[in-house]
Amino acid sequence: MGFSSDDLRLLDETSEVRIETRRGARTYRTVIWVVVDDGAVFVRSVRGESGKWYERVLADPDVVLHVAGRQIAARAEAAADDESVERTSAALRRKYPPGQSLDSMLRPEVLDTTIRLEPV
């Protein structure tokens, strides 16, 4: 079962969301970009493997996206395979304007931090 069509539309239309991650009992919220491609939801760490939210996701893949006053629970799965990386990069190019910020998300050293989010 995938995300609802309302959730997908909201994520697709929203430039930045907050991802809530955990380390032990403590929670953190970090602003990230999210893209939707053919019903699949992807995120990527602009800081590569040193991104704190990314490190926490690897340790505990249960996350919550905070967007437009809503909370969308999800489970993070590594998606560093070639197809997922390209889908994410293409979706980023479609959603965000050209420039330094977009270029940062497309650097070769961050591609392996592509994550697919699945609803829980």
| CB-neighbour burial class of residue 108 (10 A; exposed 0-12, middle 13-18, buried 19+) | exposed
Angle at 99 between CA 118 and CA 7, to 5 degrees: 25
**What digits encode the pLDDT tens for the residues 51-83?**
999 999 999 999 999 999 999 999 999 999 999
Q: What is the pLDDT of residue 32?
A: 98
pLDDT less than 70: residues of the chain: 1
Q: What is the pLDDT of residue 119?
A: 97
Contact 117, 73 (CB under 8 A): no
CATH no. for residue 67?
A: 2.30.110.10
| Residue spans of alpha helices (H) in the chain | 5-13, 52-59, 82-95, 100-105
Domain extent, residue 113, equals 5-119
Q: What is the pLDDT of residue 2?
A: 85
Phi first, then psi, for residue 4 (nearest 5°) are: -70, 160
Total domains present in the chain: 1
